[in-house]
Amino acid sequence: MTDRTHRRVLLIRHGQTEWSLTDRHTGRTDIDLTAKGEHDAATLDGVLDRLGPIDPYVIVSPRRRAQRTADLAGLRADEITEGVAEWDYGDFEGLTRVQIHADHDPDWAIWTSGAPHGESVDAMTRRVDMAVAMVAGHLADHDVVIVSHGHFSRSFICRFLGWPIAFGANVDLRPAGTAMLADVAGDRRITHLVGPEGASLSTTAL
């Protein structure tokens, strides 16, 4: 009999894009992977085999960069949903944090200020909480894989663990990186973060 008391959630951030390479906030904009992004995503092929026995339900963001990453990783989407799309950056779409600080608000951070004409911190928290509840429903029968984006994945980690979404500022998930969460009889934890080359990462970031 399969052990239903120990379930895992594997978060995969999409591979590098031109905008992630230059630190531009990429929410609703549909953009392709770079050549490096394609390479790094392809190194994820077989990731489920390396994780050991896993019977996943695969959820993928509708954005091309996430869907392409899933394809290159050899994952078939069971569900494609806006519920796991990236934070909507509103007026700050396509801008770097340096530009935002220089031209709009020197104290701005997505984690505490949200995005004007995009998603506020409260709105993002509500959406991520809905995603956490959706995933919890699937965990009764499956492990879950989510192929998504940087700020969404960091937000998901926080809310899955019951932390304020702002704690995402202290989680580092690089393009084509992965994060493993576990639910062990209701006790939720993060087990590891891994970069695109397989190196373990710190859980602190600017």
**8 Å CB contact between 24 and 96:** yes
Q: Residue 65: phi, psi to the nearest 5?
A: -65, -35
Residue 82 annotated in ligand binding: no
What would the two tokens of residue 126 be? Answer: 């509500």
Kindly report the CATH number assigned to the domain that includes residue 66.
3.40.50.1240
The answer to the question of residue 204 being in a domain is no
The answer to the question of residue 54 being in a domain is yes
CA dihedral 191, 193, 199, 201 (to 10 degrees): -110
What would the two tokens of residue 3 be? Answer: 């052990």
Per-residue pLDDT of the chain (206 residues; tens, 9 = 90+): 345 568 899 999 999 999 999 999 999 999 999 999 999 999 999 888 866 667 799 999 999 999 999 999 999 999 999 999 999 999 999 999 999 999 999 999 999 999 999 999 999 999 999 999 999 999 988 899 999 999 999 999 999 999 999 999 999 999 999 999 999 888 999 988 776 655 443 333 32
The answer to the question of residue 17 being in a domain is yes
User: What is the count of structural domains for the chain?
Assistant: 1
In the DSSP assignment, the letter for residue 93 is T
What would the two tokens of residue 54 be? Answer: 């896993």
Positions annotated as catalytic residues are 14, 86
The answer to the question of residue 200 being in a domain is no
The answer to the question of residue 174 being in a domain is yes
Range of the domain at 88: 6-194
The answer to the question of residue 203 being in a domain is no
Residue 27 annotated in ligand binding: yes
Query: Which pLDDT score, from 0 to 100, does residue 203 have?
Result: 37
Q: What is the largest CA-CA distance in the chain?
A: 59
Query: Which pLDDT score, from 0 to 100, does residue 191 have?
Result: 84
Residue 86 annotated in ligand binding: yes
**pTM (predicted TM-score):** 0.91
The answer to the question of residue 21 being in a domain is yes
- Rounded Cα–Cα distance for residues 154 and 162 (Å): 13
Residue 26 annotated in ligand binding: yes
> Which H or E run contains 205?
none
